[in-house]
Structure 1
Amino acid sequence: MIKKLLLLCVFLKCAVCFAETIKTDVLVIGGSASGTAAAIQCARSNVKTMLIETGPWLGGSMTAGGICVLDANRNFQSGIWAEFRRHITTFYKKTPGYDTTLNAVLRYEPYTGAAILKKIADTVKNLTYKLNTPYTNLKKDGTGWEVTITEKNEPVTIKARVLIDATELADAATAVGVKFDAGTDSRTQTGEALAPANATSEIQDISFAAIVKDNGRAADRTIKKPEGYDPAAYSCLKGADVKKLLANSKLPNDKYLINWCANQYTVSVEQLTPENRAQTFKKARLHTLGLIYYLQTVLGYKSFSLEEYNTPDKLPYIPFIREYQRANGILKFTVDDIYQPYSRPNKLYRTYITVGDALPMQAYSDDKNKVNYPPFPAYGIPLTAFVARDAENLVITEKGLSVSHLANGTTADPAVQMTLGQSAGATAAFLAFFKTTTKNLHARIIQGEVLDHKGYIFPISDIPFSDPYFRAVQQVCATGLLQAVFKPEGDRVAVIFQPDSTINTADIKPLLNEYYTRAFIWFNQNKPGERFTVGNLMSFISDVTLTDPETLKKIMQKNWQTTYKFKTTFDMNRPVTRYEFAALANKFINPFARRVDLTGRVMN
């Protein structure tokens, strides 16, 4: 009898182990640049978070993929991205020749980047992450999600209220039936003037990068000739200034990132499907190994050796994926939303939750697919880009965003991905904390959470985070009361605030009428002149807040330079500056408090 009871206990114990279930608020699938940032932000927003990654490193393309020279978002050092930059700069500050300038191009060894992300993640409460962890059986569970992983050769079920797909190729969203677009969109599909007349199936090339080390002139580290090697495959380097290419891709400790035209490997959407992926990646790896052999034998860099990765061929764990398929979301974010945010039918700029300034990538073997982009502006990315139309409580990052093909060219940049990952995390945390669904997203609350954690929600580059009215400017710009100014600078367009400029009444009148029911009466009664003055602003604040005008004037006069720290003198007849307007409007009439829907329409 006792033996039977012992056997029953053992059986029950095994059954419990077999049926182990982990519950979490948010599950992030994919430790990519965006996935790592999303998981960190979720946990810092005080919701229980788990991240699972099939590979050995956190960071995705910016570590495991070797893309470790990052030019984008140097002027938008936001939140977790800024934190990562600071750790990198601190680590290398004593390395000879390392550029520690605040907004320098970020350069690092991929292993170091991965170690720093792991160190940050290890310090975050409410966050559990699991590396080298494949998943199966992803499915809906009511309004939440259920997924199976394997630990110690046993299946473990994870149940989560919210799922973030941060895989490089939108695999989780694909598994649950999200519909996607792929290839180039036509002009009629997106309305983009830069789009081709007809849609095509073309997507950007993938690349296996390579990290090489210079071992000195006398060393010979020539690799074995790779299978299928053809020097003609690297003809794009003929006539190229290889020394300049190397200088631009230099890393600490005599290493270089090789991620040039010759790394590119042309693929189709079909070749990136799960069943074809392994074979495609094998061929792409051989293509990059051929480039290294070409570099050593034809170009004379025999002292270069492959470094950094514990793989049989010493190439990165994963390729750099620039484009695959893009979610069919509630709304699609296009380049017209970037170039002309204020004249679009939908006011998506009011729902920006992150920013970017990367120039669009155009990695095509055939030049006919390249687009002649005009100088490219810094931009915000709206909340709708993260939400699929047909999957509740699923937040999508990486290259699966609901964007057009042309917009994908800039949002796929790894530095941009890290900033948008933080905002994806804030979105998922909102859903988990309020126990709601993606049908009830509240842009203003999510934007506030991003700002609380030192992020940008609007791409203004001339008001730094250190400015006392940074948040006020960000919030007022997000309402549209004050529009940003586009300033061409070569192939880029800076988006600036111009704080010392004054305000035309005609520019703010339509917006004030939209946000405040009493504004129409106020304009009829007061009839402000062409330039909106300090006195006009005092009068409007008095009217909206029902404050006695003389009392408000005395308060303002007393606090103008002391409490509010304005450098100007208080003069009711002087045109108000944009900086003063943003600071005082945000404080006293708070247009940011007015809720907007996902299209940016002000809700009554």
Structure 2
Amino acid sequence: MKKIIFAFLALVLAAFPASADEPRVMEFDVAVIGAGCGGSAAAIQAARLGMEVAVVEESDWVGGQMTGGGVSTMDDVRRTRTGVYGEFLRRASAYYEARETPVNTCYWGSDTFAFEPWVIQRTLLDMMREAGEISLFMETRVLEAKMKDGAVRAAVVERGGERIELRAKVFIDATEAGDFIPLTGARYRAGHGDSSGELDGVIQDITYVAVIRRYPEGVPEELRFTRRPPGYEEYAPRFREIIALGGDSWPGEAPFNPNVFKAYRGMPDISNPASMLIDGGRAETWPLITRSAVNWANDYPHGKDGLSGMPVRYLEDKDYRREMEREAMAKTLCFLFYMQNELGMTDWSVDDRQGYGGWFGNGWREWDEMPEAFEPILRHFPPFPYIRESRRVAGVETMTVKDVLRDMKLGRTLETKPNAIALGEYPTDIHGLRDKEFLDRDLDEDAAMIPPDKEWKGGLFQIPMGVLIPEKVDGLLAAEKNISVSRIVNGSTRLQPVTMLTGQAAGALAAVAVRGEKQPREVRAIEVQSPLLDARDRLSLYRFDDVPQDSVWWKGVELSMLYGYLDPASDVIYGVDNEMHWLEVRDAMRRAFGRMEFPPREALDTVTAGEFGEWLAELFKDERETLAPLLEKCTGDEVLTKGRLAAAVGELMLLRK
């Protein structure tokens, strides 16, 4: 009850300003700006680690691109269903499982996940409510970042005409466009320029998604088109090139038929009596799909008016952003008309059951160019578009294309990053121009470097902790599409699994920093990896058949693969039960801590847990108090196994400051 009351009180207090001139002051451990994929995950993880967290969201939706952006079909490639993202998948799926409705309705595959936006929001709110002390400030706009001694100390926000000063020890920018970063003065990249010089170039196209459904009793009159929307003649030829009545099936060649279109972003529908028969991997079931989304053929600007991509001005100029979002909305409206009038989907229209229609970011209701006749349809659109590429903070580390080059046979990168805090798997998918002149000028990348991820196989790559931390500004972390990556890498890190997992890592990093009374850049990676691994967030590039995630040794094995102090028996077998000899113990300890003295034992003698503990106690006798939790476990006459050694060395690394 305390958690719910705390969040409720925050909103009540916000309604009663302290004075007309001074903002009300509220204090937290961590403040998350943005309640999207990354922001929700960051808040959940920080709260679970005991932090009092404020979450500030400009819209009236929690979930970001998954809900308010309408992209509720999960863009994962199977192997990053871990940590808070994996938990979210299980919890959202449970709603449909209880109603015998499958969630594998999208992407023409049987192992996929799709949910309705409102179910995603409810799931995230439940997870936040259960996580701990989280105060949620909805429809709240950030006005200013207050700085002191090179660190962010507070954010001034406005809600309902009243200002509040939110003070925190760490702030996390988890907005869809990286809107908090510029207020702090931290350097960031946008397009192919950066904020220390010229900001120009393009970002990836945006898409104004619309959730659509079939109305079995016929489309309500107000959701049926009686006239062509503005711009239809311009956009219709492109629509016909991609999706057309009588088009090809998948896989095939464009134009594709309407059933392929429905299955691409197909969503569950518990009101559909044929739901249990649907399987996204079986083409014969696609005609049964009764809910989907328009997120194909409607990217914007996509060459409109000679634009080579969405200008960086979209990020920097709020008025221009509003204009572009209105135009993107209009293009999607045109597709809905095309759907009803040329694709033969006469009983389909915008979905009126998702709960949209409140807050909108683009003020389209005041848009003089849009006839009032389309208002009943537009008000069921999501509150904001799908933004693929935001400002990207310039971090202490920046991921470039070499960091996501994957061996397609092995299904992973070849080099391990010891400071990894998340995994990614998506290919480098860039919507818009990728010629060298449009890529980051300071990173010297070229389109020829983009990995040839054929058939969307992807492959695992690791994300280092430094991409969350700005070069110089303290008290600030990035956790969304705004982490420190190149434009090419953004094509792999902008999707829901990565944004949730990097958000979770940012929440853990913020909590560890606050608890240790230090800045995030002063935190050791293993201090962040430890709570992430406790949350069963996979961080290494390997998965072993003999070490399932519920194994007591799983955390230690993950650390051993990150820091390389033990080698696996093979790519798929770790050898967790192998007996350890003094030679192997010596090698593991030297890899982890450097050269040290070892007891006069034969190299091939086996080691008992008790012998290992006695030796550790003598070796680190000045640190016995610190190492007491580990030494208490290292007792007995049982032979030390590889799994136990992996866990012990990992714990030793964590305990030794």
Distance 1:184 1:461 in 2: 37
- The one of 230, 236, 240 aligned to 2:242: 236
Distance 2:636 2:609 in 1: 11
State TM-score, norm by structure 2: 0.71
Cα distance change of structure 1 residues 514 and 208 upon mapping to structure 2, 3 Å threshold: same
| 1:184-203 → structure 2 map (5 Å cutoff) | 201-203=201-203
1:373 aligns with: 452
- The one of 298, 307, 332 aligned to 1:288: 332
- The one of 79, 104, 114 aligned to 1:107: 114
Partner amino acid for 1:357? E
Measure how far apart 1:479 and its partner are: 1.0
* Count of matched residue pairs: 527
Measure how far apart 1:527 and its partner are: 7.3
Partner amino acid for 1:246? K
1:356 aligns with: 424
- The one of 220, 225, 230 aligned to 2:228: 225
CA contact (8 A) 2:566 2:646 kept: no
Secondary structure of 1:106's counterpart equals: coil
State TM-score, norm by structure 1: 0.77
1:245 has 2:261 as partner: yes
| 1:149-548 → structure 2 map (5 Å cutoff) | 149-183=157-191, 201-216=201-216, 219=219, 221-223=223-225, 224-229=227-232, 230=234, 231-234=236-239, 235-237=241-243, 238-253=254-269, 254-266=290-302, 267-275=310-318, 276-307=320-351, 308=354, 309-310=356-357, 312=375, 313=378, 314-339=380-405, 349-364=417-432, 371-374=450-453, 376-462=458-544, 463-482=547-566, 497-500=572-575, 513-518=590-595, 535=606, 545=616
Secondary structure of 2:557's counterpart equals: helix
Query: Deviation digits for residues 42-92 of structure 1, max 9, x if unmatched?
Result: 111111110010000111001111111114164343332233222211111
Secondary structure of 1:251's counterpart equals: coil
Query: Deviation digits for residues 516-550 of structure 1, max 9, x if unmatched?
Result: 4446979x99777xxxxx849999958963799xx
CA contact (8 A) 2:340 2:349 kept: no
Cα distance change of structure 1 residues 291 and 60 upon mapping to structure 2, 3 Å threshold: same
Cα distance change of structure 1 residues 31 and 219 upon mapping to structure 2, 3 Å threshold: closer
Measure how far apart 1:233 and its partner are: 3.1
Distance 1:203 1:339 in 2: 22
Query: Deviation digits for residues 274-322 of structure 1, max 9, x if unmatched?
Result: 3321011111111111122222222111211101321651221121111
Secondary structure of 2:561's counterpart equals: helix
Cα distance change of structure 1 residues 479 and 265 upon mapping to structure 2, 3 Å threshold: same
Measure how far apart 1:226 and its partner are: 1.8
1:95 has 2:179 as partner: no
Distance 2:568 2:405 in 1: 12
Cα distance change of structure 1 residues 430 and 372 upon mapping to structure 2, 3 Å threshold: closer
Cα distance change of structure 1 residues 593 and 320 upon mapping to structure 2, 3 Å threshold: farther
RMSD of aligned C-alpha atoms?
3.9
Distance 2:569 2:422 in 1: 18
Identity %: 21
CA contact (8 A) 1:25 1:160 kept: yes
Measure how far apart 1:184 and its partner are: 5.7
CA contact (8 A) 1:31 1:59 kept: yes
Cα distance change of structure 1 residues 540 and 359 upon mapping to structure 2, 3 Å threshold: farther
| 1:44-63 → structure 2 map (5 Å cutoff) | 44-63=48-67
Cα distance change of structure 1 residues 516 and 29 upon mapping to structure 2, 3 Å threshold: closer
Measure how far apart 1:172 and its partner are: 0.4
CA contact (8 A) 1:180 1:327 kept: yes
Distance 1:435 1:98 in 2: 47
Deviation larger for 327-336 or 388-397:
327-336
Cα distance change of structure 1 residues 326 and 141 upon mapping to structure 2, 3 Å threshold: same
Partner amino acid for 1:382? P
Distance 2:344 2:523 in 1: 57
CA contact (8 A) 1:444 1:595 kept: yes
Distance 1:526 1:95 in 2: 63
CA contact (8 A) 1:29 1:166 kept: yes
- The one of 38, 41, 44 aligned to 2:42: 38
Structure 2's unaligned 5+ residue stretches are 1-16, 194-198, 244-253, 270-289, 303-309, 359-374, 408-413, 437-446, 620-633
1:68 aligns with: 72
Query: Deviation digits for residues 476-533 of structure 1, max 9, x if unmatched?
Result: 11212346899xxxxxxxxx65335999x999998754424446979x99777xxxxx
Measure how far apart 1:240 and its partner are: 1.7
Distance 1:130 1:545 in 2: 50
1:82 aligns with: 86
Distance 1:243 1:28 in 2: 41
Cα distance change of structure 1 residues 152 and 516 upon mapping to structure 2, 3 Å threshold: closer
Measure how far apart 1:178 and its partner are: 1.6
CA contact (8 A) 1:25 1:162 kept: yes
Query: Deviation digits for residues 238-288 of structure 1, max 9, x if unmatched?
Result: 522431231232212221122124345441212332332101111111111
Distance 1:539 1:376 in 2: 45
Measure how far apart 1:459 and its partner are: 3.9
Partner amino acid for 2:63? G
